[in-house]
Structure 1
Amino acid sequence: MADTQTAQDAVLERPIRDEDGAIDPALIEQISQAVLLSDLTTLRAVVADMHEADLGAVLEALDPEERPRLISLLGADFDFTALTEVDDAVREEILEELSAQTVAEGVRDLDTDDAVYILEDLNEADKQEVLGKLTPSERIALQQGLDYPEGSAGRRMQSEVVAVPPFWTVGQTIDYLRETEDVPERFFEIFIADPAHHFVGTVQLDRLLRTKRPVPVAELVGEENRVVKATDDVEDVARMFQRYNLVAAPVIDEAGRLVGVMTIDDIVDVIEEAADDDVKQLGGVDADEELSDPVRQIAKSRFRWLFINLLTSFLAAAVMSLFEAQMTQLVALAILAPIVASQGGNAATQTMTVAVRALATQELGAWNLRRFFTREMIVGLLNGVGFALITGVVAAIWFSSTGLGVVIGIAMIVNLIAAAGAGVAIPVLLDRFDIDPAIASGTFVTTVTDVVGFFAFLGIATLWLGLG
């Protein structure tokens, strides 16, 4: 018994994460062994009080068959909020192995936004089975969130809010907050709603506490109330939070009734997910791809854009084939042509990345498109001239041909200007046709720079050097 207690104390004293933020492998091994041995005492000592973010990382590190067993062993001691911290694929695998009763018990004590986030990926039959295990009031609250469109504020809102009528005084409101047990664990503002639950306004907690008790709360409502509609896109809501430095915002339905609240912790998750999606899509990777996805699924999702890229590569090759005779006469052309195309591709990717991100954050629109386009074209020209001098000198010395240096210099300028134009124009055009520029821009921009680069270099060489 003493040895067991000593081992547990050693685990508790060990830091959960190392200085790089990674979960301690020894801790994972300890938890894994405890799961295999059904050592509930050790699991409760090590896991029960763990933060949900750390617990989520532990779940991802465990073998798939150990994850649901850990949850079942801990029972009520397992914090289901940890399932919001794991990859979608991991969460779905875990939920498939758990009974509907276990899931229902797990989400019962969660905030509605976390519970909806966990349940939304279940198929309809499993979802209804879990909801059927809840009380009518719990089921209605979760079903309300699930009924809103995916990606909407209604899906991410917390339905538990602190709302009081406008005729209450500051004293009544403070007493209500102190004496009522079912208020949210954390809140930042008090919402004012009329008897029909229509939203009236917001009162900041600091202002409430600094005001004398007899004052009606209606007099404390601020002049500016930023309101979110339940059907608003969460990325639009995130931009509003960012623009006006909000900590929380009320959510209303189509009739103007107060139905929930969006808080800054939800918004941080939205911003992180949006940035993660943009990075993946810029690389031609499906936005839903996770590290835990199976090989077959990943290969299938990536194949589509690789196939499109292959087709566009044939177009670039076709351009080179037009100058086959000239390249046969001067081998240097075949050696130098990829340099021009490569520089153009890299320059276009830089411009495209800025353009796609500006479109995603709504910083680029009709009001500043011309200025942005002009700026990028000038940048392309300046860099083109700079690299024209560098590559021109190198090519002239390398192949003992001043003419070849002039040719590659002119081609470099042409292609970097074209790269800047394509890097702006292609994302903007795709966005106008409601095609996600983050997904499709890379392939088309690369094609433009390859085609223009090869055609410009080989075409100018044909004319300048008299090849044919």
Structure 2
Amino acid sequence: MSEKNNKNQELLKLIHKYLDSNNVLALKSCLSKVHPSEIADVLESSTESERRQLWSHINSSIEGDVLSNCNAVVRNSLLQHMEPSRVASATNHLELDDVADILQDLPHELADEILLSMDEQNRSRLGAVLNYSADTAGGLMNVDAVTVRSDVDVDVVLRYMRQTKHIPENFDQLFVVDRGDVFLGALSLSTLVLASSDAKISDIMDVNHPAIFADTPAHEVAILFEQRDLVSSPVIDESGRLIGRIMIDDVVDVIRQEGDHSLMLSAGLDEEHDIFAPVLVSTRQRSLWLAVNLATAFAAAWVIGLFEGTIEQLVALAVLMPIVASMGGIAGNQTLTIVLRGLALGNVGDANAKTVVRKEVAVGLANGCIWSIVVAFVAGFWFEDAGLGAVIGFAMVLNLLTAGLAGAAIPLLLQKINVDPALAGGVVLTTVTDIVGFVAFLGLATMFLV
């Protein structure tokens, strides 16, 4: 267990101890010493009744910070018990992208009430972010970028910055724009401080700094930050006008969400799934995926039933069937994982899809040949039947070859028809490898052994 997990569990035990003993003073003292993100972890690790009890003792000055660090399910359960004016007050010091994240996950009626509770300036600035989907650059951005003109001197900019009343949090660079707010370049603080006081901004700005269009998908923003080693980047609209900035902390959130998304979808769950949700809620959320898997299991069982007579005559087939299916499933999932990662990073697409499929088919064939020899020898020695060993060995080659082809082709095809490969890829692949494995093994046995 990691040090972070240990710390979270120790804090959780301590807080639950204070809650159980109703030691309010000790509880408030404890909460005042920990970061809002750690309080959010505790809330996510508690039952719904414990969350409500703990939330009532959290200092109102950090409520917004705690909410911004909670996942959507936990956050919404807390917001439902708060007055809109209280939510507006709790979030008025947060960065606009964090407030937007909170509001976008709420029912429209409640979100509208909270917006109406805000002052006009904050409501207008927040509206600029809410105009964009949460999973785009526009949904990630903050609108508090610091801008300068290209025709002014360094000394003018430095004096302006000393006199300004508000510098955005995590401020690391200025953005150079023209009179129409069209983005021209970026100027890092280090360059500004080291430059001669009479130097023109146009002479020292970075005209090659990448700007991100507001409708760029969030995962593409994350890839750009990783490729260019960016700490922040300007966001522009379709006409090139600067409308905000994205910081690295926003991108870290995207990376984590993408990881959670792939992991949870592979089990048919939402990435915001609440592990401490009521039993009936969790049961309902998981039932659909169980039903889908049951249907595919019946399909595989139906295939086996077609060879019922063969299995009755040669019981060893029933013993060895899981080996063929298991090896195909593992090989296919290896390929599926690699291709899903390539799709997520943009390394796999239309330009090289055929190359990837051919390579994975070759890998499947090579592994099939290698492991078929091992399996054939073990099965033949175990049941003292060389013919049985040859049949399972050949079936292994066919199934691993199919696993390589299916593991590469299925996610590519699913993406073509706009179905998330992370959601459906695993269950489709398992069905294919199970059915092909059973048909190959039992079919060959019917032809040559019975």
- The Cα offsets for residues 160-188 of structure 1, whole Å up to 9 and x where unpaired, read as 11112222221121222222121213211
Structure 2 residue aligned with 1:256: 240
Structure 1 residue aligned with 2:389: 405
Aligned pairs for 1:21-170 within 5 A: 22-29=9-16, 32=19, 36=22, 38-39=24-25, 42=26, 45-48=29-32, 50-61=34-45, 64-65=48-49, 67=51, 73-170=57-154
Tell me, yes or no, if structure 1 residue 339 matches structure 2 residue 323.
Answer: yes
The equivalent position to 1:234 in structure 2, one of 218, 222, 225, is 218
The one-letter amino acid paired with 2:394 is: I
Distance 1:358 1:254, change over 3 A: same
The secondary structure found in structure 1 opposite 2:234 is: strand
Aligned residues with identical type, % of pairs: 35
Q: Are the equivalent residues in 2 in contact too, given 1:149–1:155 (CA < 8 A)?
A: yes
Distance 1:295 1:87, change over 3 A: farther
The one-letter amino acid paired with 2:220 is: D
Distance 1:289 1:33, change over 3 A: closer
The one-letter amino acid paired with 1:32 is: L
Structure 1 residue aligned with 2:355: 371
- The Cα offsets for residues 435-462 of structure 1, whole Å up to 9 and x where unpaired, read as 1111111111111111111111111112
Q: Are the equivalent residues in 2 in contact too, given 1:198–1:256 (CA < 8 A)?
A: yes
Tell me, yes or no, if structure 1 residue 182 matches structure 2 residue 166.
Answer: yes
CA-CA distance at 1:289 after TM superposition = 2.0
> Quick one: distance in 1 between partners of 2:115 and 2:311?
70
Structure 1 residue aligned with 2:252: 268
CA-CA distance at 1:17 after TM superposition = 6.1
The one-letter amino acid paired with 1:379 is: V
> Quick one: distance in 2 between partners of 1:447 and 1:356?
18
The secondary structure found in structure 2 opposite 1:256 is: coil
Aligned pairs for 1:360-439 within 5 A: 360-439=344-423
Distance 1:233 1:130, change over 3 A: same
The one-letter amino acid paired with 1:212 is: S
Q: Are the equivalent residues in 2 in contact too, given 1:28–1:61 (CA < 8 A)?
A: no
Distance 1:444 1:100, change over 3 A: same
The secondary structure found in structure 2 opposite 1:444 is: helix
> Quick one: distance in 2 between partners of 1:243 and 1:109?
32
Structure 2 residue aligned with 1:4: none
User: Given the two structures, how large is their TM-score scaled by the length of structure 1?
Assistant: 0.89
The one-letter amino acid paired with 2:180 is: A
Q: Are the equivalent residues in 1 in contact too, given 2:47–2:276 (CA < 8 A)?
A: no
Q: Are the equivalent residues in 2 in contact too, given 1:286–1:302 (CA < 8 A)?
A: no
Distance 1:159 1:446, change over 3 A: same
Q: Are the equivalent residues in 1 in contact too, given 2:28–2:57 (CA < 8 A)?
A: no
The secondary structure found in structure 2 opposite 1:97 is: coil
- The Cα offsets for residues 44-63 of structure 1, whole Å up to 9 and x where unpaired, read as 54323532221212333455
Q: Are the equivalent residues in 1 in contact too, given 2:87–2:114 (CA < 8 A)?
A: yes
- The Cα offsets for residues 393-433 of structure 1, whole Å up to 9 and x where unpaired, read as 22112111111111111111111111111101111111111
Stretches of structure 1 lacking an aligned partner (at least 5 in a row): 1-15
CA-CA distance at 1:150 after TM superposition = 3.0
Structure 1 residue aligned with 2:186: 202
Tell me, yes or no, if structure 1 residue 307 matches structure 2 residue 287.
Answer: no
The one-letter amino acid paired with 1:109 is: H
Q: Are the equivalent residues in 1 in contact too, given 2:325–2:434 (CA < 8 A)?
A: yes
Q: Are the equivalent residues in 2 in contact too, given 1:89–1:293 (CA < 8 A)?
A: no
User: Given the two structures, how large is their TM-score scaled by the length of structure 2?
Assistant: 0.93
The equivalent position to 1:172 in structure 2, one of 156, 169, 186, is 156
> Quick one: distance in 1 between partners of 2:53 and 2:159?
44
Structure 2 residue aligned with 1:8: none
The one-letter amino acid paired with 1:165 is: R
The secondary structure found in structure 1 opposite 2:32 is: coil
The equivalent position to 1:215 in structure 2, one of 177, 183, 199, is 199
CA-CA distance at 1:228 after TM superposition = 1.3
> Quick one: distance in 1 between partners of 2:388 and 2:105?
60
Q: Are the equivalent residues in 2 in contact too, given 1:32–1:62 (CA < 8 A)?
A: no
Distance 1:25 1:74, change over 3 A: closer
> Quick one: distance in 1 between partners of 2:18 and 2:162?
40
> Quick one: distance in 2 between partners of 1:284 and 1:424?
20
Q: Are the equivalent residues in 2 in contact too, given 1:60–1:86 (CA < 8 A)?
A: yes
